[in-house]
Amino acid sequence: MKKILLTFVLVFALFGANTYAMHPSWDTNFDGLNDCENDLTCDDSVDYTSAKIYKTSADFLAAEGDMCLSATDGCNNVMIIDGQLGAMTKMYCEDIYGSKGQEKWSCNSYDTEKINYMKHIIKNISNLTDKKTVLGGTWYVVDINWLSDEKIIVTFEDGHIQEKITIKKSDLVLEQEDDMRVCTMQYAPVCAEVQVQCIKAPCLPIQETFGNSCMAGKNPVLYTGECRDNVDISLFKRYQKYENYYLSTLKNIKSETLQDGVTKADDMIEKTKLMRFAQGFLEKYVTKIVFVKELFIKELTSRY
């Protein structure tokens, strides 16, 4: 057990300052860039790795209502249904809001299916309309409004004129990777790195859960199990550079002890859901635990 604790300590102390991926709430037009760069309002004092905070539910819904499944006002959680507030918890929140009752709205979880359709629309808007641009310009999307789960109103312009079209989701065909592999239906989930398409660089990869490593296809597997919230891909990949060294420290540890370490790592990750720390700190903390857990699993797998 001392060796396991030593491994945790070594990995946790491996890096000091780290860079974090931008939180998706700061890129509502999915161009891979922070929205603040479009209106030149970026501020170095703002933590762009954490969710964007809105002062009112109206502001939040206008910006992220169409792509959010559940949200928080800083204390209570609320379901988002068709871009509107749904069922909400009713906890006493004065101690959290403060005497002035200041709410802090942000999204807890995103609707990845809708986001994929929105990205598809942004990428293919010129092919989705027969309207002609002025002076040979290029159409670009300025707003996507989901009227229902099926009907979408898209506003787009070319710098001279603005147009709107109504699109049915069922008429859209998302791009599928040309992969003819045949995989079993065994559920042994893995979290893989998926490169997304965007209009402007940088196009940051995302994490996606696949039923097993075969189903992940060409997407590089990051770690075993379903994708976790608060795992920083770039930080995880930095740790992977030292993977062989840390695996060598586990060779003489009993399998039972390693298995116990996997269980304890899961418990530690689960407990982070109750922690009220800054997003950046939680990302760093969870990423390190997930990395150590993956080391234990790889060493165990190599023995069978």
The reply to whether 247 falls in a domain is: yes
Q: 248-279 pLDDT, tens per residue?
A: 888 888 888 888 888 888 888 888 777 666 66
Rounded CA separation 203/195 (Å): 7
pLDDT at residue 95, rounded to an integer: 63
Residues 123, 142, single domain; the answer is: yes
Q: Where are the alpha helices (DSSP H) in 55-210?
A: 57-64, 94-97, 112-128
Return phi, psi of residue 72, to 5°: -135, 150
With bands split at pLDDT 50, 70 and 90, how would you rate the model's confidence at 175? low
State the DSSP string of 38-93. Answer: HHT---TTS-TTSPP-BSSHHHHHHHHGGGEEEEESSSSEEEEETTEEEEE-----
Residue scoring higher pLDDT (280 or 43) = 43
- Candidate ranges 153-157, 188-192, 226-230; pick with highest mean pLDDT: 153-157
| Same domain, yes or no: 195 and 161 | no
- Mean pLDDT, residues 80-92: 86
Sorted by sequence, the CB contacts under 8 Å of residue 199 that are 6+ apart come out as: 30, 31, 32, 122, 123, 140
Q: CB of 117 within 8 A of CB of 195? A: no
Total of domains in the chain:
3
Q: Which residues of 147-177 are buried (b: 16+ CB within 10 A; e: fewer)?
A: eeeeebebebbbeeeeeeeebebeeeeeeee
In eight-state DSSP terms, residue 24 is: G
> Do 167 and 253 fall into the same domain?
no
Do 194 and 291 lie in a common domain? yes
Q: Are 120 and 97 found together in one domain? A: no
**pLDDT value for 163:** 93
- Identify whether residues 212 and 289 lie together within a single domain: yes
Q: What is the pLDDT of residues 35-66, one digit of tens each?
A: 887 778 888 788 888 889 999 999 999 999 98
**pLDDT given at position 278:** 67
Q: Is 268 within the bounds of a domain?
A: yes
* pLDDT bucket at 157, cuts 50 / 70 / 90: very high
Residue 121 lies in a domain: yes
Instruction: Enter the pTM of the model.
Output: 0.49
Domain boundary among 121, 140, 171: 171
What is the pLDDT averaged over residues 188-196?
83
Same domain, 283 and 221: yes
Q: Cα separation of 156 and 163, whole Å?
A: 5
* Same domain flag for 201 and 165: no
Q: Please name which of 218, 278, 235, 259 lies closest in space to residue 48, comparing C-alpha atoms.
A: 278
Q: Which residues partner with 152 through β-bridges?
A: 146, 167
Residue 32 confidence (pLDDT): 64
pLDDT at 168: 92
Q: What does each C-alpha distance from 214 to 190, 218, 300, 302 come to in angstroms? A: 10, 9, 20, 18
Q: Which residue has the higher pLDDT, 137 or 166?
A: 166
Residues 279 and 204 grouped into a single domain: yes
What proportion of the chain, given as a percentage, has pLDDT over 90?
Answer: 11
How much is the pLDDT for 60? Answer: 94
Confidence band of 153 (pLDDT split at 50, 70, 90): very high
Question: 174 and 187 in contact (C-beta within 8 Å)?
Answer: no
Q: Are strands 84-88 and 77-81 parallel, antiparallel or unpaired?
A: antiparallel
Average pLDDT, the chain: 80
Q: Above 70 in pLDDT, residue 4?
A: no
What is the domain range of residue 245? Answer: 2-21+187-302
